[in-house]
Chains A and B, each alone.
Chain A
Amino acid sequence: DAGVTQSPTHLIKTRGQHVTLRCSPISGHKSVSWYQQVLGQGPQFIFQYYEKEERGRGNFPDRFSARQFPNYSSELNVNALLLGDSALYLCASSLGGGSPRTDTQYFGPGTRLTVL
């Protein structure tokens, strides 16, 4: 079975530009979450979507937005890029529904974004 897939694998942008990152969840999973991992740190939660609705949002500026499509894939958009947005962006999928405590997340390989 295919795991979580993300595209592109690497991306280089300049300050002020906009970027769109894409994620396809494991088949049967209805929830997608996005994380930012800055070099040398643990991942930080950005968004969670379930059945196309936003279920949670981390402490990130409004430049960050996301959406989930009817096929449960998801996009993360970042506007007006800053140097500090350079990071590995991870997508995780889970079954969703039920208790968040027991809803195990499975991660994709990530998209490495470099902002120059």
Chain B
Amino acid sequence: AQSVTQLDSHVSVSEGTPVLLRCNYSSSYSPSLFWYVQHPNKGLQLLLKYTSAATLVKGINGFEAEFKKSETSFHLTKPSAHMSDAAEYFCVVRNNDMRFGAGTRLTVKP
């Protein structure tokens, strides 16, 4: 069985400050993990993925995530938020099918 929990439904930051979106996963096997972003009325865009190579994964737009097996976590970070980062973010775990978290809405204040 596999599942993913996004610990915050809503995160609000000021422009230029760091972003942390938290994700914990549960999986019977060594999983692949993904972060996707969804802007309003748009489809999902892949930010980054972990597939058992380096535990620190760099993605697009300055985002990165660290796979921590001991903590079963895959948190998404960015050093400095930009207004264009405001969107819904989904953490995903995959063995066979894809299981999505409920999403975290990121708000960026000017």
A positions within 8 Å CB-CB of B: 4, 33, 35, 41-45, 48, 56, 58, 90, 92, 100-102, 104-110
Among A42, A90, A101, point to the contact of B32 (Cβ < 8 A).
Answer: A101
Task: Find out whether the CB atom of B94 lies under 8 angstroms from the CB atom of A107.
Answer: no
Task: Find out whether the CB atom of A107 lies under 8 angstroms from the CB atom of B45.
Answer: yes
Question: Complex formed: what's the CA distance from A58 to B42 in Å?
Answer: 23
- Chain A residues contacting B103 (CB-CB under 8 Å) are 41-42
Task: Find out whether the CB atom of B43 lies under 8 angstroms from the CB atom of A100.
Answer: no
For B31, the closest partner residue in chain A by CB is A101
Interface hub of B30, B32, B36, B98 (most chain A Cβ within 10 A): B98
Task: Find out whether the CB atom of A107 lies under 8 angstroms from the CB atom of B43.
Answer: yes
The answer to whether B67 has its CB under 8 Å from any CB of chain A is no
Task: Find out whether the CB atom of B51 lies under 8 angstroms from the CB atom of A102.
Answer: yes
Task: Find out whether the CB atom of B96 lies under 8 angstroms from the CB atom of A56.
Answer: yes
Chain A: interface secondary structure? mixed
Tally inter-chain residue pairs, CB-CB below 8 A.
Answer: 52
Please give me the 6 A-B residue pairs with the lowest Cβ-Cβ distance, nearest first: A42-B100, A107-B44, A109-B43, A101-B32, A107-B43, A102-B51
List 27 contacting pairs A-B, 8 Å CB cutoff, sorted by A. Answer: A4-B43, A35-B98, A41-B102, A41-B103, A42-B90, A42-B102, A43-B44, A43-B98, A43-B100, A44-B100, A45-B99, A58-B97, A90-B43, A92-B44, A100-B95, A100-B97, A101-B51, A101-B94, A101-B95, A102-B51, A104-B49, A105-B98, A106-B46, A107-B36, A107-B43, A107-B44, A110-B43
- Chain B residues contacting A45 (CB-CB under 8 Å) are 97-99
Question: Complex formed: what's the CA distance from A108 to B32 in Å?
Answer: 21
Q: Residue-by-residue, is B20-58 near A (CB-CB < 8 Å gives 1, otherwise 0)?
A: 000000000011101010000011111001011000000
For B101, the closest partner residue in chain A by CB is A42
For A100, the closest partner residue in chain B by CB is B96
For the complex formed, measure the closest distance between the CB of B24 and the CB atoms of chain A, giving whole angstroms: 15
- Chain B residues contacting A102 (CB-CB under 8 Å) are 32, 51
Question: Complex formed: what's the CA distance from A44 to B102 in Å?
Answer: 10
